[in-house]
Structure 1
Amino acid sequence: MTNKVRKYKINDFLLRLPVSQYREAVRVIPKVLGVSLNTFHNYRNILIDDLQDIPHEKVMLFEKLFEMKVGELRNRNMSCKPLKELLQSEDSRR
């Protein structure tokens, strides 16, 4: 069986908890996020290449709940040149 990489580190965080805290977290987190238990489980299982995503507000809540820095929940870093640099390269093409 292949180990599929998840888009977010939700399971990584939860699986480090003791069993009693894990069970309580799975019960509490959907309430805090304002989503159903099924939606919460769907969030946990989004694969890295899936088009499906978690709304940004929910990602921010996860990061606060898990005491993570902004952007730490994702398993893949996103990189992009600054807009100013992109605009300059577009201007040089003209």
Structure 2
Amino acid sequence: MMGGFYRFPAMAGIPTWTREEQVDKILAEANEVLAEQFRLDCKEDAGRRVAYGMELLDVIHAAETALRMEFGDEEVETLRGCVERKNRERGYYGE
């Protein structure tokens, strides 16, 4: 189900992956972001910029999968609200 929080469809393999495997996936995707950022810094071009953006979205997708593995939709919304509140208190939103 595509709920209000999620940007991507649920992965078919969620029930078979462990928490550790999913955290490893998030880290692997983050490392791909680092690699693309380095390539982009070395030579800025449209193709590299798109690849960088896609890798950032892969991190979000992997994180969404981890959330789905552990939490129901209502829990995710509650957690999202807590993180937003914490970040607002830290002044991250420029309000």
Question: TM-score scaled by structure 1?
Answer: 0.27
Higher alpha-carbon Rg: 1
Bigger helix fraction: 2
Question: TM-score scaled by structure 2?
Answer: 0.27
